[in-house]
């Protein structure tokens, strides 16, 4: 280090190629140190603290708002297949539904809804129908003679819709448990696409905003 000389060729050579041992220019070093400092700050703000939502976070927020708006537009005529499918595609509603399920339903349907006293809700077989609105009616009105309570009164329609949206999201996930009961319910193409389509419409809208 003591006797630094600009443009001095170093002794070694690789395949006849030799190199200088010059200092990096200051502007280059400043960019390097600057980007290290920036990266640390960026990481702390966006990842560690989550203080500012990143692009994915903002996208999720917009999606959520758009879906809420869509749900509000649908609310008029009471719950329908479309509105229940939409709810089943909203992570927040499904999470709330899951919490309700864990409180009220696991005793009989087991922790993963794989069935216990009550039937397995993760297969494709349904005693009272596998359409979202049919599941909604079963949960609201219950099957008292078989030991399934009418939850409509106890939980109210909003919470029933949430727990149903969780049940919808479990359909055909086939957790090993109680043997299938009832009839095979094949999801219609419309039903499979409904949530996707609604999502992508809203995604398109918000992406062009
Ligand atoms: C005390 C036990 C019990 C509890 C608690 C219970 N269920 Fe049930 N559930 C049953 C039984 C038993 C059946 C089957 C009824 C029949 O055979 O017709 C059933 C059926 C169902 C069905 C219809 C399944 C099908 O194949 O058509 C759904 C959906 C359902 N329950 C959802 C729920 C939800 C959601 C909750 C919580 C809010 C819940 N159940 C709580 C006992 C229970």
- Please report, in tens digits, the pLDDT of each residue of the chain (209 residues total): 557 788 888 888 999 999 998 999 999 999 999 999 999 999 998 888 888 888 888 898 899 899 999 988 888 888 999 899 999 988 899 999 999 999 999 999 999 999 999 999 999 999 999 999 999 999 999 999 999 999 999 999 999 999 999 999 998 888 999 999 999 988 777 666 654 544 454 444 444 43
User: Which pLDDT does position 65 carry in this prediction?
Assistant: 92
The correct CATH number of 79-208 out of 3.40.250.10, 1.10.760.10, 3.30.930.10, 2.60.120.10 is: 1.10.760.10
Report which ligand 1 atom has the smallest distance to the Cα of 155: 38
Choose the residue to mutate in 79, 96, 119 for probing ligand 1, maximizing ligand atoms within 8 Å of C-beta. Answer: 119
- The CA distance from 140 to 185, in Å, is 20
- Strand segments (E) across the chain: 125-126, 183-184
Q: At what angle do helices 81-88 and 91-104 cross, to 10 degrees?
A: 90
Looking at residue 91, its pLDDT comes to 87
- What b/e sequence results for 28-65 when a residue is b if at least 16 CB atoms lie within 10 Å of its CB, and e otherwise? eeeeeeeeeeeeeeeeeeeeeeeeeeeeeeeeeebbee
Indicate which residue's Cα is closest to atom 11 of ligand 1. 118
CA pair distance 88, 144, nearest whole angstrom: 26
Span from the CA of 80 to the centroid of ligand 1 (angstroms):
20
pLDDT in tens, 1-46: 557 788 888 888 999 999 998 999 999 999 999 999 999 999 998 8
The vertex-110 CA angle with 104 and 112, nearest 5°, equals 105
Q: Which residue out of 104, 142, 148 has the highest number of ligand 1 atoms within 8 Å of its CB and is therefore the one to mutate? A: 148
Name residues contacting ligand 1 (CB within 6 A). 101, 104-105, 107-109, 117-119, 121, 126-128, 135, 138-139, 143, 146-148, 151, 163, 167, 181-182
Q: Ligand 1: distance of its center to the CA of 193 in Å?
A: 27
């Amino acid at each position: 280090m003591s006797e630094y000389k600009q443009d001095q060729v170093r002794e070694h050579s690789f395949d006849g190629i030799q190199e200088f041992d010059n200092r990096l220019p200051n502007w280059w070093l400043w960019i390097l140190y600057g980007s290290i400092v920036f990266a640390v700050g960026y990481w702390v703000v966006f990842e560690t603290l989550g203080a500012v939502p990143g692009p994915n976070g903002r996208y999720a927020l917009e999606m959520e708002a758009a879906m809420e708006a869509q749900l509000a537009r649908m609310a008029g005529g009471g719950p329908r297949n479309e509105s229940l499918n939409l709810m089943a595609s909203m992570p927040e509603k499904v999470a709330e539904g899951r919490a309700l399920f864990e409180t009220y339903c696991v005793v009989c349907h087991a922790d993963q809804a794989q069935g216990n006293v009550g039937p397995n809700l993760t297969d494709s077989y349904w005693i009272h129908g596998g359409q979202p609105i049919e599941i909604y009616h079963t949960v609201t009105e219950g099957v008292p003679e078989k030991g399934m309570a009418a939850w409509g009164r106890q939980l109210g329609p909003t919470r029933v819709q949430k727990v149903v949206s969780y049940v919808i999201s479990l359909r055909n996930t086939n957790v090993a448990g109680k043997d299938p009961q009832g009839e095979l319910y094949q999801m219609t193409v419309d039903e499979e696409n409904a949530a996707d389509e609604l999502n992508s419409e809203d995604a398109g809208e918000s992406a062009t905003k």
